[in-house]
Structure 1
Amino acid sequence: MVSAASGAFTAQRAAETAGLRLLRADLMPVLVAILGNRFEDQRIIPYAEFVLMVADDLDELRATGVNAPRAAQEYVTDWVRDGYLVRRPTAAREETVEVSRSAAEAVRFVLGVEQPQSTVTSSRLSNVAGLLGELARDSDPNPERHLEALKAQREQLDDEISRAEAGEYVPLSDAAARERLAEIFRLASEVPGDFAQVADDLETLNRELREQIVSHDGARSGVLGEIFDGVDVIEGSEAGRTFGAFHELLLDPVLSDRFNTAVDAVLERGFTSEVPAPDAAFLRRFLVLLQRESAHVRQRLTDFSRSLRRFVETQEYREHKRLAEALSLADHAALAALKKVHPTTEIGRDLDLSSIAISSIGAWRLHNPADLRPEIDVIEHDTLELDLNVLRRMVRMTEIDFAELEANIADTVADQPGATVGDVLGRFPASQGLASVVGLLLLATQHGVRASGQETWRWASVSGASRTVSAPRYVFLTVPAEWSAHVATTRT
């Protein structure tokens, strides 16, 4: 039993959470309205896009008489500072925002106040009893008792099949079906919000693992040793394994087919005629919503794993370890100094603290575009006539002239069927030096035939030096028809 003092301390800590601060906030109705509406269908929103959404919502609320005089950007900044929202960077160099776990629970609580649901229902008792029975059966270490439980379940199913075949099947009453559907909606509505808790747990795990690496004194032992051994400590953690199993089940195509079929069947029943359209739409897109949120958490888990491994492999943790040791030494030195020197004692040294420059609006200078105007007039040059020969020479300085090489090959094969690369070089010197030789090799591998033996290729470099190389023997038996067309074009 929890003592009164323990309960008081627990309540005091809870009062400092973002969720309870949200409930005490002056703009609590505005917060609940905006956060509950914008994060209903998606858990993560780009920061800039969310600011625009808040601006639209504030305009609508002001039209109803709500006093919200500040700009949307200011409110969003305060909400991030107060912990209602979590602002995160992404790999795409943009920022996203999401509701914190505590604030999401507070918003869900407020929105559910006017929609009380009875917790004493037969469907809830059936769920608890069913889950408890499955747990007792599946965790039983005695194989004989486990077999007896399976046989009892099979007998119950056989009995239901027999009654259905005899026409004695009685469907669930509309009242009981509506009660069970309400319980399904309640459970389904809580699942998307749990992703925020999973993401927070993974982030906490990542931070704790880094702290263990930095604070550990041994070499390559514990978490550090596991990472060096190639173990993914985040994936292998309890939170990582639990989420991984959930993610794999969520992507199971059999589960998706069964779920969608069941949703279609239920929404065709008569007892669902009074189900609000938003609830029906939520049920239809429920799996898609879970898959999208699960993908976000999965990406974050992967990012944490890669970041932690990079933190170790790049030896970055050593810098953090040295910084932690320096801070610890400074703490010990400060504690030792406190025994001899009072904190307000003058020691004859000044320490400049980091700060930002503060100035009034009157000190600001307006931007004048005229300051950027050039002091001298822009000189306009006459446009020269395009010289194709000059342009071709410029291109040949940076690119292989394949058109010339194709024409050389076609010309050589026309006079000498079965010509090799060496034959082409002997008849047409490499005008671009090594670049021409590389181009001939590429064309030979694509359009030539590899023959046995080697041959010597000779050419002159751009500087005029003679070069030779022993290369594979390639034979050109035929060439594409368009290469012959290059002959006339290249020779002109």
Structure 2
Amino acid sequence: MLGSMAGAVGAATGAYRALDTAALRLLRANNMPVIVATCGRHLVDRRIIAYPEFVTLVADDLSELRDEGIALPRTAQEYIADWIRDGILIRRATAARDESIELSPTAADAIAFLDAIDRPVATVTSSRLANVSDLLASLARDTDPDPSTRIAALQAERDRLDAEIARVESEGSVPADDAAASERLAEILRLAEAVPRDFAKVADSFERLNQGLREQIINHEGQRGEVLDEIFAGVDLIESSDAGRTFDAFYRLLLDPELVERFDASVDAVLDRDFAADLPLAGIAFLRQYLTTLQSESAQVRGTLTDLSRSLRRFVETQEYREQQRLATAINTCEQALMGLLHSLPTTHKIGVGLDLTSMRFSSIGSWALHNPADVRTAETVDEHDTQPLNLENLREMVRLTEIDFGELHGNVAAVVDERATATVGEVLERFPASQGLASIVGLLVLAVEYAIRVPGSEVWTWQSRSGRSKNVSGPRYLFSTVPADWTKR
């Protein structure tokens, strides 16, 4: 009886913990179909997407859904912010100081669960039983420490292969029927689809391990702890962990040229068979790109693993952990002091210190007033003013107050060059005074740098300020000899 109660309590505790996961929040969300239609569509085949690109993709999806009559009043950024807050999406900073978006592991499991409901598949198949049986037999064989048993198993396998070779030589090869082959191919695809989804869980496990190691370093009391000693000794605790070693073995196998060549040859052979003719194009593309996808995803996880290892080492070598230890000690001291005060002072005791907190003002619903659109109507008569006809001269003068009149300067330079064959900036100003003051001087200098020739010496440029005072400045000599044909001559 006690055992059954303990079992029920344990099951209930686990279920309560599940209520606070991103998977349950996704499944219970009011806009769950929208999450699946956006996040599930873009973040399954591509596990990580740059944040700006993801916002654009979600905005396009929301627009398409609105066209079908689905009410989606908020922007893509607002929906994404909610999904990040609920833990459905994870927003990370990248090494390039950008940001990326990915599905949280539990949210990915929830979307896979919904996909399985929408596309149910038979799980009681002979291929699945044969796969389990073969894996179990292989495990029993590879873990057997008795050499004689291993030799007997290998001899039995050799005899079976010899008998099979003899049968094929005498009777010919009899391939599996299409129904059985299709069933085995479907089982292979189901197994293969599960692997890319696990990369998010692997990266998440590395981050939890990194967080746990940091907590051990901060909470350790004493001069040196085991974790610190290993890090100072050059041990990479993340890569040498069980998760790190397992991923490293997978990563090395994935980069094995022999495996890649054998896999590609097997895919080509299977897709050429008659039973694969009904395989959808998505399934064919999935098999063709499978190793490439795994290599890309594993490279991202490998980068995460390397970054976490370097970050943990910097955390120790820069003595940053000492600041964290002092902060943790101060917090613990405050908590102990407060716990001691609770035995002698009530929780309502005033300490004479005020702390302003953000809060919401509550009021009775009876005090609310309905919005009346008539309250914001304008009671006074709106005055109408007749518009004046556009005066091009006034408009030109307004433009000249803020812009350099290069058209005028082009004509001035062209006229002087036409009269004298060559002209300097000073000679242009003598013939045509600076009508825009200093702005005309600046405009002529810009034209001189681009179209004139720099000659030795200097000259004085003169103009009138707005107050009517004469101003001058000494500038370099530029000689205009030719001007563009499109400059208007005065």
TM-score, scaled to structure 2: 0.73
- Tell me whether 1:63 sits opposite 2:67 in the alignment: yes
> Could you tell me how far apart the structure 1 residues matched to 2:217 and 2:350 are?
39
- Tell me whether 1:136 sits opposite 2:140 in the alignment: yes
In the alignment, what sits opposite 1:218?
A: 222
In the alignment, what sits opposite 2:36?
A: 32
- Tell me whether 1:90 sits opposite 2:94 in the alignment: yes
Alignment deviations for residues 389-437 of structure 1 (CA, whole Å, 9 cap, x no partner): xxxxxxxxxxxxxxxxxxxxxxxxxxxxxxxxxxxxxxxxxxxxxxxxx
Unpaired runs of 5+ residues, structure 1, are 356-372, 389-492
- Tell me whether 1:42 sits opposite 2:46 in the alignment: yes
1:246 counterpart (231, 250, 253): 250
In the alignment, what sits opposite 1:110?
A: 114
8 Å CA contact 1:35, 1:107 repeated in 2: no
- Partner of 1:97, secondary structure, is strand
8 Å CA contact 1:195, 1:294 repeated in 2: yes
8 Å CA contact 1:220, 1:228 repeated in 2: no
Output aligned runs, 1:245-394, within 5 Å.
Answer: 245-351=249-355, 380-381=441-442, 382=445, 386=454
> Could you tell me how far apart the structure 2 residues matched to 1:241 and 1:128 are?
24
1:117 deviates by 1.3
Q: Which residue identity is paired with 2:298?
A: S
> Could you tell me how far apart the structure 1 residues matched to 2:115 and 2:153 are?
43
Q: Identical aligned pairs, as a percentage? A: 54
1:354 deviates by 8.9
Q: 1:349 to 1:36 in 2, by over 3 A?
A: closer
- Partner of 2:251, secondary structure, is helix
Q: 1:387 to 1:80 in 2, by over 3 A?
A: farther
In the alignment, what sits opposite 2:56?
A: 52
Alignment deviations for residues 452-483 of structure 1 (CA, whole Å, 9 cap, x no partner): xxxxxxxxxxxxxxxxxxxxxxxxxxxxxxxx
Unpaired runs of 5+ residues, structure 2, are 360-401, 404-436, 457-490
In the alignment, what sits opposite 2:409?
A: none
8 Å CA contact 1:123, 1:180 repeated in 2: yes
Q: Which residue identity is paired with 1:332?
A: Q
In the alignment, what sits opposite 1:8?
A: 12
Q: 1:92 to 1:118 in 2, by over 3 A?
A: same
- Partner of 2:100, secondary structure, is strand
- Partner of 1:69, secondary structure, is coil
> Could you tell me how far apart the structure 2 residues matched to 1:76 and 1:377 are?
53
1:386 deviates by 4.5
Q: How many residues align?
A: 371
> Could you tell me how far apart the structure 2 residues matched to 1:339 and 1:120 are?
62
2:173 counterpart (156, 159, 169): 169
Alignment deviations for residues 322-368 of structure 1 (CA, whole Å, 9 cap, x no partner): 0100010011111112222223322222345699xxxxxxxxxxxxx
In the alignment, what sits opposite 1:199?
A: 203
> Could you tell me how far apart the structure 1 residues matched to 2:176 and 2:324 are?
63
- Tell me whether 1:122 sits opposite 2:116 in the alignment: no
8 Å CA contact 2:217, 2:225 repeated in 1: no
> Could you tell me how far apart the structure 2 residues matched to 1:258 and 1:149 are?
26
Q: Which residue identity is paired with 1:294?
A: S
TM-score, scaled to structure 1: 0.72
